[in-house]
Amino acid sequence: MKKLTIFFTVLIAAIFLGVIGIRVSAPEQDITKKVTKVGVVLNGTKDDHSWNQAHADAFDAIDDELNLEVFYRENVGYGDQAQETMEELIANGCSIIFAESVGFGNAVLAEEQKHPDVYFYHCSGTRYGDNYTAFFMRNYQSRYLAGIAAGYATQTGCIGYTAAYPYTEVIRGIDAFTLGVRYANPEATVCVKYTESWDDYDKAYAATKDLIQNEDCDVIIYHTDTLAPLVCANDLSVKSIGNNYDNRNRYPDSLLCCLEMNWAPYYEKEIRTCLEGRFYGKYDWLGLDEGVCGITPLTANEGANRGKAEAAINIRKKEMEDGTWDVFFGPVYSNTGDLQIESNEAASDYYLLNDLNWYVQGVAVDD
pLDDT in the model for residue 29: 59
Domain boundaries for CATH 3.40.50.2300 within the chain:
36-137+263-290, 139-260+297-366
Give the CA-trace dihedral at 126, 130, 132, 135, to 10 degrees.
Answer: 50
Which of 60, 202, 222 shows the shortest CA–CA distance to 139? 222
Q: Tell me the pLDDT tens digit for each residue of 284-295.
A: 999 999 999 999
d(CA 184, CA 201): 31
Count of residues for the chain?
A: 367
Dihedral of CA atoms 117, 123, 127, 133 in degrees, nearest 10, equals 40
- Neighbouring CB atoms inside 10 A of 94's CB total 22
Query: Which pLDDT does position 323 carry in this prediction?
Result: 94
Question: Which pLDDT value is given to residue 2?
Answer: 40
Model pLDDT for residues 293-322, shown as the tens digit of each residue? 999 999 999 999 999 999 999 999 999 999
Residues of the chain short of pLDDT 70, as ranges, are: 1-29
CATH of domain 36-137+263-290: 3.40.50.2300
The predicted-structure confidence for 168-214, as pLDDT tens digits, reads as follows: 999 999 999 999 999 999 999 999 999 999 999 999 999 999 999 99
Domain 139-260+297-366, CATH among 3.30.230.80, 3.40.50.2300, 1.20.200.10, 2.60.40.10 = 3.40.50.2300
From the list 49, 45, 97, the residue with the least C-alpha distance to 76 is 45
